[in-house]
Structure 1
């Protein structure tokens, strides 16, 4: 009897963990089922220069289909060439995807650096570049040490469906707010202030938008932060 209990204690967490994974709906699965229909509608809206409709379609697709699913555990590399998995991050994750040819909006990086300093004990901030290591390393100089800068070189990861679709399905840059068990709480596009916007105003627009999303989805301070941000607008 004691031996049986020991066996159950040993295999129990593994079995339950596998069962939990089986019960989840994953990001890649939802994309496979719904991405084609979304792309047809979004492509038509862009061809008609109906950017308001395209924005509405993106929000409808992310809010009603993708959010609530679980992000797949995919692999990427840090700047030391060490392979890392998304599930290695145990805290909630703020993940934003970039590429060297995709310029961050004005004020976005300073806002991210300040938010990472503010919430580093509660959230893992990850900037993912779809690029070579050399280009990611060059861009990483703009980010603080509180942010993990990683990269995916598609030439080395061309077999993973989720890796392909993370880049090609939703565009760049895109933010993914993930709970500690990697449930997708929110997907959002970056804030793009007008080119003539003063740097400080652009920073505030980015900071307020991002902090509101973080406080609403990843920590339990939404009401307090929202009230403070409204007073600053």
Structure 2
């Protein structure tokens, strides 16, 4: 009987500790993986979002713990061509899913840069400036949320604040691809990306 109790106690304590949450800020800063793909697959997916009090360029505070919908969190820079290429598809997703998903976009840029892109973005997207600059232009920090995966990077976060998926890059116009094709590719990718939380 003592052995059964001991085994059950061990199993209970093991499962209890196995369920402890790992938060994104710890995962992104302590992952020993060398590539972005490994950082995403081995450390970031499955981690959880802490509360961040993002302040939009209009001065409105968006506290992530008060957001009751899934979150699409986008890291962008106005110096990044794919970020501009993704705008029409992103606006379409906001139009379709704004009542089901919260859209937040934070930037590497300062306020002047963000205002240039704001003119093209759906007004329902919360636009957040960087609060800390780094020598490595792939890195940015906004109100404690640390990003180091280039631009654009889109994070899909469930209602319980778990990171489900991360999308990097986007199509953009070139001599081989016109805007119609770019929009078709980006819209299809974003739709598939968001689908798990709808």
Task: Determine if the TM-score, normalized by the shorter chain, exceeds 0.5.
Answer: yes
Structure 2 residue 188 is matched with structure 1 residue 191: no
Aligned residues: CA RMSD: 2.6
Gaps (5+ residues) in structure 2?
Answer: 1-18, 134-139
Distance 1:159 1:63, change over 3 A: closer
Distance 1:160 1:147, change over 3 A: closer
- Deviation at residue 139 of structure 1 after TM alignment: 1.7
Greater percentage in helix: 1
Conserved 8 A contact 1:108-1:206: yes
Structure 2 residue 27 is matched with structure 1 residue 30: yes
Q: Please, which of 104, 127, 137 is the counterpart of residue 126 of structure 1?
A: 104
For this pair of structures, how many residues does the alignment match? 173
Conserved 8 A contact 1:73-1:87: yes
* TM-score, reference length from structure 2: 0.76
CA distance in 1, matches of 2:193, 2:64: 20
CA distance in 2, matches of 1:210, 1:159: 24
Structure 2 residue 182 is matched with structure 1 residue 202: yes
**1:177 corresponding residue in structure 2:** 156
Structure 2 residue 184 is matched with structure 1 residue 211: no
CA distance in 1, matches of 2:144, 2:87: 26
* TM-score, reference length from structure 1: 0.66
Conserved 8 A contact 1:193-1:205: no
CA distance in 2, matches of 1:106, 1:198: 13
Residue deviations 1:188-228, cap 9 Å, x none?
Answer: 1022356220110110000001100111x211xxxxxxxxx
Conserved 8 A contact 1:77-1:152: no
